[in-house]
């Protein structure tokens, strides 16, 4: 297993009820995976546990050799005193400099490179921030609504580019879009809430990576399974 949660129990400080009670689930392979569930079920909390941002829980989280785990979220902000290009160049390890222009083109950011971050639209800001993380060294990248405010065509191009450039890396995609996780993700962990048994259900997505078009009925069937599980 690459990522394993064993018997996780946690209560928010000051809360009467637990958000997790003996939660157990795992991800076994690299690839583009999803963490899905209704608002308030604990998706972001579980993600932050992996990076040490939430403590005070019982149980065990095993990352099994994935030493570099990064977390990026919607509305994360970059410094505003330099251009986007200057910031990307300054924060990218030298060994990854050759990927800057490739990601800039794939993410549709060429026209933004001389602009300051604060002058970009929300979609441009989210794309820029995601590119910044992809230019780092990582084993697992957790994407918490990272492609919000991005149009569907650009979003698909970005995800397919990620799959092509990083086939051996692990991605955990947090999204409220049933269609997105059904189409693009390999494994979908559905969080159902502590009052449900089991608390999580693991489903197989269509794992679309470009090329041959998916069968509409297959996507719809996966979407139905996700909705029923949630």
Judged against a pLDDT cut of 90, whether residue 68 lies above it is answered with yes
Q: Which CATH class, in words, describes the domain spanning 3-229?
A: alpha beta
**pLDDT for res 81:** 77
Q: Encode pLDDT of 111-140 as tens digits.
A: 999 999 889 999 999 999 999 999 999 999
What are the structural domain ranges in the chain? 3-229
- CA count, 13 A, side-chain hemisphere, 103: 26
Mean pLDDT score of the chain, rounded to an integer? 93
Alpha helices per DSSP H over the chain: 43-50, 84-91, 100-106, 122-134, 152-165, 178-184, 216-229
């Amino acid at each position: 297993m690459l990522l394993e949660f064993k018997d996780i129990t946690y209560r928010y400080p000051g809360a009467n009820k637990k958000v997790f009670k003996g939660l157990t689930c795992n991800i076994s392979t690299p690839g583009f995976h999803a963490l899905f569930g209704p608002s308030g079920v604990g998706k972001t909390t579980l993600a932050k546990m992996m990076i040490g941002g939430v403590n005070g829980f019982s149980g065990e989280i095993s990352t099994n050799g994935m030493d570099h785990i990064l977390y990026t979220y919607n509305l994360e902000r970059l410094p505003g005193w330099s251009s986007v290009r200057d910031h990307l160049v300054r924060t990218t390890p030298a060994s990854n400099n050759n990927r800057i222009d490739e990601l800039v083109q794939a993410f549709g950011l060429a026209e933004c490179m001389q602009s300051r971050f604060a002058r970009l639209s929300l979609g441009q800001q989210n794309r820029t921030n995601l590119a910044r993380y992809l230019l780092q060294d990582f084993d697992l990248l957790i994407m918490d609504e990272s492609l919000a405010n991005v149009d569907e065509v650009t979003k698909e191009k970005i995800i397919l580019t990620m799959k092509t450039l990083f086939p051996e890396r692990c991605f955990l995609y947090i999204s409220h879009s049933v269609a997105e996780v059904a189409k693009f993700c390999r494994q979908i962990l559905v969080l159902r809430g502590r009052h449900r048994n089991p608390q999580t259900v693991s489903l197989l997505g269509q794992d679309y990576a470009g090329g041959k078009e998916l069968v509409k009925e297959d996507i719809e069937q996966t979407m139905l399974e996700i909705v029923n599980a949630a």
